[in-house]
Copies of this chain bind each other. A is one copy, B any other.
Amino acid sequence: MDCGEGTQIKMVQFKVKSRRISHIFITHLHGDHIFGLPGLLNSLSLNGRQEPLKIFGPEGIANYVRFNQKQSSAHFTFDIDFQELKGAGPIDLGTYCGLQFKAFPLKHRIPTFGYKAIEVQAELNVDPEAITKYSLSIEEILNVKKGASIIRGDSFIPTELLVLPPRRNRSFAYCTDTIYDPDILQYIEEVSLLYHEATYTDDLAEKARERMHSTTKDAAQIAKSARAKQLVIGHYSNRYKNLNTLLQEAKVVFQNTMIAEEGKLFQIL
């Protein structure tokens, strides 16, 4: 999600394999979110990538990539499939890699979209007690995992009696850049982990409004209202050398806040 300048350098540093990228989600066309994209795509091509790549983003993303691609006069070794977004949310983007993706509009100085990824439960979990009770065969267990009921002569055992309740699927929402906007709550209700920009501390709330960014407290209030499990804040103005101030401000409103830092990993609960 997003690709600022130096993304590929950081990927090498943190041992993230670029060839594993299959989908790229761009929130908006400001430089700090896209200036790393031309170089990343160039490198993928230099490495001989064959698999097509899908790129989502606001109107103009295809033109941006194609213009920069042309600069390199390079024949790209792989195809890019662009999906340009517009209008109201939620926009269904499809299911990839076991995750269902949706986009929704944010409010920033230019057209901007937030993204949400929701785990898709590929298979049902068969209840061990049902296996014993009904003496399920391996074949029956595999069918039940896929949602089948059991039919043995006249007796019918519905799927619901054979499987555990589906667990609540984890989700991740990525909301940057945006002014404080309760309209997005409908898209991120009960999200497991919310990433929300917090460009400024609360004392610069007026500047945040003017630049259409959020403060620490704005981000925390959105997390609270959405009943998110966890909040990660980021996109700080480079005036902040000590990030603890930002973290503490957010925690006053939403205790379960964490701070984004280069290379840091977060577990989605």
A interface residues, Cβ below 8 angstroms from B: 5-6, 8-9, 29-32, 34-36, 38-39, 42, 60, 64, 67-68, 71-74, 109-110
Contact = CB atoms under 8 A, between A and B. Distances in A.
Contact of A71 (B30, B36, B71, B74): B30
Contacts of A110: 73
Given A35-B39, A67-B67, A109 B73 contact: yes
Contact of A36 (B5, B72, B73): B5
Q: How many copies does the complex hold?
A: 2
Given A6-B6, A30-B72, 9 more contacts: A5-B6, A5-B36, A31-B39, A32-B42, A35-B35, A35-B39, A35-B42, A67-B67, A73-B109
Candidate in A73, A74, A109 with the most chain B CB atoms within 10 angstroms:
A73
B31 A68 contact: yes
A9 B5 CA distance: 9
A74 B38 CA distance: 20
B72 A31 contact: yes
Contacts of A71: 29-31, 34, 60, 64
